Each structure stands twice: as C-alpha cells, then as structure tokens.
Structure 1
Amino acid sequence: IKIALNGEWNQRAQLLAEQQSLGEYILAKLEKVKSDRSKTYCVSILAVLGMLSVVLERARTAHREGKEYGGNFMIYGETEFRQEEQENMIRMRDELVSQYNRHNQVILDKIEQQQSDQTEVEKLGHDIADFKGIISRTGAVIQTIKAGGIAVVNANQDVPKDISYNEMINMKGILLALPEFALYMNGKLLWKRDQTQPIQQPQQQSSQSSTSQILPQTKQELKPFPVWAHLCLQLNMESDQRIAKFFIGPDLGELVGVGVSGLPDEIKVVVLSSGALKAFQAFNTQRVGDAITSLVQ
C-alpha cells in the first residue's frame, strides 16, 4: 500500500510539474501570438490549468499602462478596471481631505495654545513711594483655574502687557502664581501648596486699636478652592529687612510657608490674570503673619 501511495503522489507531482511547465509555456506564447483566435485559445488553456488569475492581473497592469494583454475578449474586464480606478480616485481624495483637515487642526491647536498662554497683566496704579516705610497689603481675587498671581518686582523692571505662563513664573522678582498656588523667586520654586497637609497655624496678634483689622483665622484642614481664589501680599517696608509675605483665602487663613526679605528699596506690585480679576491695596495696615519665620533673601 505504501508503495502504491508513493507512486500515486509521484504521478501527481509529475502532473503538477507538467501543468506548471505548460502554463508558463502558454503564458509566453500568449505574449507572442498576434491573432485574437490564438490569444483566446491560449487563455482558454490557462483557465483550464487554473492560471486565469495570472492572466487577469497582467491584463489589469497592461490596462493601467494603456496597453492591451490577452486579446479583445478581455474587454469584458474594462468595467472592473474603471470601477477600480474610480475607487482609487475616491481613496486618494479622502486621504487628501484627511491630510488637509489634520494640517488645519494642528494650526488651530497652535493658535489656541498661543492664545491660552497669553496672560493679561494688570498694573495697580499706585506710586512706588507708597510702599516706603509702611506696612501695606495688596489683595486680588482671581479665577482659580486661570493663570495669574501677585508679583513684586523692581521699580524699573518692565512687565510686558502680554506674557506667557512660563515667562511669568520665570520673571525676575517674587511671584505667588496660580493655578498651582506656588511661590517663585527669580524663576526658582520656593513653596507650593500641598492639598494633603494641614495648614500652618498662624499666631494672632492683639491690638488696642479700635479700627477693623484683618487677622488670620485658624483652619483645621486644606480644602479644594472654589471658583475664585483670594491672594494677598503683605509688604513690610517698615522693617529694615523689607519683608514680603503671602496669604491665601478671603480671611488670610492660610499662610504661604516662606517669606522673602531684603526687597529692593524701590519696588512695584503687579497683579496678573488671564481672566477676570478684582484687586485692592491698603496702606499703613497692621502686621500679620508672624508665624511665617522662614525667610529667603
């Protein structure tokens, strides 16, 4: 039985080889014959040998190149060729439209990013001399999610009307910045609010004055800020150290853990915001924030 099977497989292999050889011979013959009758005869033999797909593929290639292959009988495939060309044109058109849309979207995204990076600068109109020899406060109410903050800079420093967030936090001076609630000095991070830690407990001061005073209030824990953030800067230019301290909250309830000493004699305060804001200044105020003992010069 094994010998018989081997003989059968050998016969089949020999037959396939003969068919393959015959097919290649007929394909070569098809390219040489001239009459439609001879071409039709060659294609018929190739179809019997299972090689019609080879003929069709060569006919398609020839058609794309403006040539003819396989004789006039292949005219039946022109509809398929036209449909294929139309589908290719549609695919090319869709790809061009897609590339155009992607290119436009990249441009729009860049424009939007540039616009969002621009932060309006609002300068408070007080004389530089107002800060000398006194304790003052500058407060601002700014949208929590918007870029902005309160900055102390040298009096002769020019702060541009339009400034990016990166330029803002790297400006020369001191800045309490939103939306990260971080304190920067000359671009260096000094302090950043930690939502997971309880706030520092400020020491309230007593006073004989009958005037209304804003004093820090004790809170037990930090909570996420609402839509509007309240920032406050206290400048103690009465002290020889010339100290800047910052507070967060409408009642100055949270202390920024680091203050800055050694301010220049002549300074100005700038309030920055990329959205709506309200700002105020008060002069000859009571000193608060003695709990802030860490001072950076």
Structure 2
Amino acid sequence: MSSWFSPDTAPQAGASSDDVRQASAAAHAAQARRRERIAQGHLLFIALVVLAPLVAYPLLRLVLLSLSGAHGLTLDAYAKFFSNPDARGVIGTTVWILAASAGIASVLGVALAALLFFKPFPGASLVTRFLELFVAFPSFLVAFTLIFLYGSQGSVSIGLQRLLNLQQPPLDFLFGAGGVILAEVVFYAPFVVRPTLASFALIDLRLVEAARSLGANASMVALRVILPLAWPGIAAGTILCFLLTLNEFGILLVLGSAHLVTLPVAIYSSATVDLDLPTAAAGAVVMLAMSLSLYALYRRVNRRSLQGVSRGR
C-alpha cells in the first residue's frame, strides 16, 4: 500500500481518481493540523516553562517595584529619579560615554573589516578567527588586561618609566573616562567586524572593478560603491555595538572612578548601597526602555539587510 494513504483514508476498490485525490488531500490536511497543534504545544510549553518564570515575571516585578510606594502604586520613584540633578548628570555621562565608546568602536570595526576583506594579508584569516573568539571573553577580563599593561604599575608603563628615566610612571589614565572608553573600544569593536565582513561578502566585486576602470579612486569607490551596498550590514553591526555598550557593567565597575557614574553603576549603587529599591527599579526601567528602543532599531535595520540579501539572490 502506498505511504500516501493511512489505513483510514486508503482508497477503496473501484474508487474514482477524484475520490483518491480528495482522500489524499484530506490526509495531508489532517497531518498538517496535527503538526501545527504539536508546534503550538511546544511554543506554549516554552512560554510557560521558560519565558514566563525567567523573563516575563522578573520584568513584571521590576515594573511593579518601580511603581510601588507606601500607599500603593505611585510614580514617586520616577519623579525622584528624573528630578534629581545627579540622575540627570548620570544620564548625560552615560550618553557621552556611550557615544564615544561605541562610535570609535564602530569606526574601528568597519575599518578593520575593510582591511581584512579588501586588503588581505598573510594571517588575515587567523586575525578573523581570533576576533570571533574574542567576543566570547568576559568584558572585565579586558579591563584587567589593560591594567596589567597600561596601569601605573603595568608592564608598558614601568618599561617607559625605566626607558625614559622618569620619576613617576608616565601612564595614568585608566581609572576614569579614558580607560573605560579604551576598554570598551577594544572589547566591542570585534562585534562590528563580523557583520561588516558578512555585508562586504555580499557585494558584487564586479561593480568595484567597474568603478575603478572608470577612473574612480579608492575613496570614491569606498563612498560611492561599497558603503551604499554594505550600509545595512554596517548599520546593524553599529547599532548592536551601541546596544551592548549601553548595557556594559563589568568594565565600568573595574575602571570607573567615583566621578564617572553611569546608569548601570547608579542602579547598582541605589540597590546595594542606598537600599532604595524603587528608585533603582525606576532607573532600570528607564535603561530597559533605552535598550529596547535600540533593539527595535537593530531588528528593523537587520530586516532590511536580510531583504536586500534575498533580493540580491
């Protein structure tokens, strides 16, 4: 008996071809409904067992905590957060550290990806593999590595002091904005390299050769040909870099000073030092809104990038 038919839907002797086709269609429709019910059951299981206790419930508790007060639900925590001059300064510090770190990391990542793709050198593939592995490192490890190298007692600083016969170590910038920006640039630039390389790989290199044959120099080819074609992937990698840098905490905890308080550090201090959980929750909700906004922008840009890939195929 053919595997197209189940015992219940097998054609009877003398059945017409129309009856056979209808029975086959009914069997396939029943199998499709069963697969859909199974998939819905799996999705419901994931939602109830994984997403609800690990994602939805903590977020709901966070929002409710930010709205809690002595007499029920209130917006006092948000009013206290936004009316506090220190909080406004914290948000300003967070924004400029984010702009400097993610901006430099994005430019460096795109430039490094262009060098690896368009000007390959011996060992370029090894560098690419190392950058892929580098993103798996914890961020605070980068901070400690920079301390061991460029701190006041680091090997590079001590070496320069002995070489130049100085009384004091010449490098003393890590514990502050300079060190935080340097560490975040070093750590997050590889997050831009990979999507940029993938975007470059989709470019038809015949267009680049055609532009060069028409007399375009390297800068014109980069700005007029490569950048417009690779822009969706570059933008997606840049937004991802901004999103990850916004939520960075380990580097700030290791290299940040008392004068460099960003939003993650302020939330941590409110919760653990001041024991003001509603205010800390309000700050966390504000940071969550910023992160979700960047993530929504990332998804939109990434979707446009994928649509461009599908059209190119």
* TM range, smaller chain: under 0.3
- Could you tell me the TM-score, scaled by structure 1's length? 0.25
- Asked which structure has the greater CA Rg, the reply is 1
Relative contact order, CA 8 A, sep 6+: which one is greater? 2
- Could you tell me the TM-score, scaled by structure 2's length? 0.24
